[in-house]
Homo-oligomer: A and B are copies of this chain.
Amino acid sequence: MANQSALLTAVFYALADPTRQAIVGVLGRGPASVSALAAPFAMALPSFMKHLSVLERSGVIRSSKAGRVRTCELRPKALADAESWLAGQRATWEARADRMSAFAERLHQEELIHEPANPRRKR
């Protein structure tokens, strides 16, 4: 459970950066070499490598080396876990909103019962 929270924390931290969000977007369309990934970013390679390292440590991507080429690919499980956590929070919140709405409806019904039903009585 504590481990699960640590993984989730690492994934959210990895996503808390526009460059890393963009890398996730590119890798969603398929694996890519580090040099192809880095090309569109106006950033020194060591800085870019740090972003890849944060993503890899969080489990959002993985990389492998063949000869002199390092290739990165997305690990969709990590993103799916973060999405599930958010969906769980939404479910809790929506269940509460439903209970509030049912309660408001019951109050409204009770008011209708206790209010004078026939307006002619007031005349």
Contact = CB atoms under 8 A, between A and B. Distances in A.
Interface size range of chain A in the complex: 20 to 34
Contacts of A76: 90, 93
Contact of A9 (B17, B80, B90): B17
A93 B28 contact: yes
A40 interface: no
Contacts of A10: 16
Contacts of A28: 89, 92-93, 96
A83 interface: yes
Contacts of A25: 89, 92
Interface of A: 5-6, 8-10, 12-13, 15-18, 21, 24-25, 28-30, 74, 76, 79-80, 82-83, 85-87, 89-90, 92-93, 96
